[in-house]
Amino acid sequence: MTKKELRKKYLQERKKMSEMEIRTLSEQIFDNFQSEFPVIAGQKIHVFMTISKLNEIETDVFIEHFWNNGAQVFVPKIIDNQLISVEYDRETKMETNSWGISEPASNVDSGIKDFDYIITPLLYCDNTGNRVGYGKGYYDRFFSGISETCLKVGLSFFQPQEIIEDVSDWDTRLDHLVMPETILSFRGF
């Protein structure tokens, strides 16, 4: 299937999910993440903020876990059609952008290039780590400017089933995919 077809299919699949189902599956994904990826003081972690109206995986529990373990947390913000990474703590002032998404009021890019983890949103990921996002290319451009040692970890409600037929050279593969049932690793593909 093409990215466009997969995007449509998995947006529809997520739309069918109940609030309770999203919460339960998000907790299972968090438990799997926690079991495989240690979080320690001083780590730098970029994590997406949940867009509830799109039935995304709930990341609040991830963020709280990162803070409780002394990690520095960074979240995305779109400025001039580019994704920047803004430091985020319990005191960060937040605002709602024109898309209805909560993001930091600050426009200051952290400049961090050596994150330990980038927790990445997606609609679908195939069995080789290629992801389908919302189609704007923000994360692919963001990935191109970070250290190769950074682990790119996708979170998904769904197991890989279809092959993405139109992967391009500028698409960046994930290193790992965390789902409710399991974790897949794509390092070495």
pTM summary value: 0.94
DSSP string, 4-16: HHHHHHHHHHHHT
Which tens digit of pLDDT belongs to each residue from 44-67? Answer: 999 999 999 999 999 999 999 999
Mean pLDDT of 124-142: 93
> Element (H or E) spanning 94, and its range?
strand 94-96
Binned at pLDDT 50, 70 and 90, residue 102 comes out as confident
Q: What is the pLDDT of residues 142-174, one digit of tens each?
A: 999 999 999 999 999 999 999 999 998 888 999
Q: What is the mean pLDDT of the chain?
A: 94
Find the mean pLDDT for residues 71-96.
95
Q: Report yes or no: 128 and 152 within 8 Å, Cβ to Cβ.
A: no
pLDDT band at 188 (very low <50, low <70, confident <90, very high): low
Q: How far apart are CA 138 and CA 82, in angstroms?
A: 6
**Which has more pLDDT, 141 or 101?**
141
Question: pLDDT tens for residues 116-130?
Answer: 999 999 999 999 999
Q: How far is 120 from 122, CA to CA, in rounded Å?
A: 7
Phi/psi at 162 (5° precision) = -95, 155
